[in-house]
A and B are shown apart, each in its own frame.
Chain A
Amino acid sequence: MRLRQAPTTPPMAKINVTPIIDVALVLVIILLVTAPMMSLSDLPVDLPGAHARDTERPDFISLTMAADGRLALDEAPLGGLADVAPRLRDRLAARRDTNRLVVVRADASLPHAAVRRLLDAAREGGALNLGIATSQISGGRP
């Protein structure tokens, strides 16, 4: 009986950790990039276009109003306009930053009166810095 010949290559002594580190770093980068998006509501909003850009702060609180009037504070839906001020006050208190920018993301088709009521409610909720969200248009002037 002939025995099988042992392989000539030595057994692998080290585990190659490069792929796992690579994948872990990719996950960290994806989480870092998607973190700001998680705070935006997924309500469908067609933001008005604008060429100028003004307030640039990554850490803002968003107040979203869809074309059908549905509201959301960051990613959380709101029952109505009456909920805006108390919920926003709580959110600002939780972040311990009353100067935090509050951006109103309102659909372009909404009447101005509805947006103004939302701005009033935001101010009533303690928002000192208010912004109106726009969709950036690049190139050309209006």
Chain B
Amino acid sequence: MMKLRRGFEMDEGPLAEVNTTPLIDVSLVLVVILLLATPLAFESSFGVRQGDRLAKPGVVEDVQDRVELAITGENRVEVNGRSVAVEQLAGALQPLFASGASRDVAVSCADQISHGAFVRVLDIAKLNGAANIAVAEK
């Protein structure tokens, strides 16, 4: 018995090195995937409808219960005709949506307003419960 054991130890010694190649390989693949996927993960989009016209005052239309936003300045927006600062838009929208009215929103924007300011208003509307957003012409 003793003789056999000694023979085994002499023929095959203990494993001295751990093969790290597969580990490094898999790690590099994960790094590459993360590097490539990161820009896509941070890009999103809002769905919009296009081409609606805002209801004119005094004209009865079937879209009268939707919320109408008109962006009049980089920091001003009219909510159903009432002018508020963009910072106060969330507070103006919440009671409208909470009252059970339509969650459809029509957004019109003055031509010179930046696209960034336009998207900011869409973002606030979405975060506060807007379901469908239509880009309207004034």
The residues of A with any CB-CB pair to B shorter than 8 Å are 22, 26, 29-30, 33-34, 36-37, 47-56, 60, 101, 103, 106-116, 119-120, 122-123, 129-136, 141-142
Contacts and interface: CB of A to CB of B under 8 A. Distances in A.
Contacts of B41: 136
A103 B113 contact: no
B115 A52 contact: no
B110 A134 contact: no
B114 A109 contact: yes
Contact of A134 (B25, B117, B119): B119
Contacts of A135: 42-44
Interface of B: 22, 25, 29, 32-33, 36-37, 39-51, 71, 90, 109-120, 122-124, 126-127, 135, 137
Contacts, number: 136
A53 B126 CA distance: 8
30 contacts: A50-B44, A50-B119, A50-B122, A54-B44, A54-B46, A55-B44, A106-B115, A107-B115, A109-B116, A111-B111, A111-B114, A111-B115, A112-B111, A112-B112, A113-B112, A115-B118, A116-B109, A116-B111, A120-B50, A123-B51, A130-B49, A132-B46, A132-B119, A132-B122, A134-B43, A134-B44, A134-B119, A136-B44, A141-B90, A142-B90
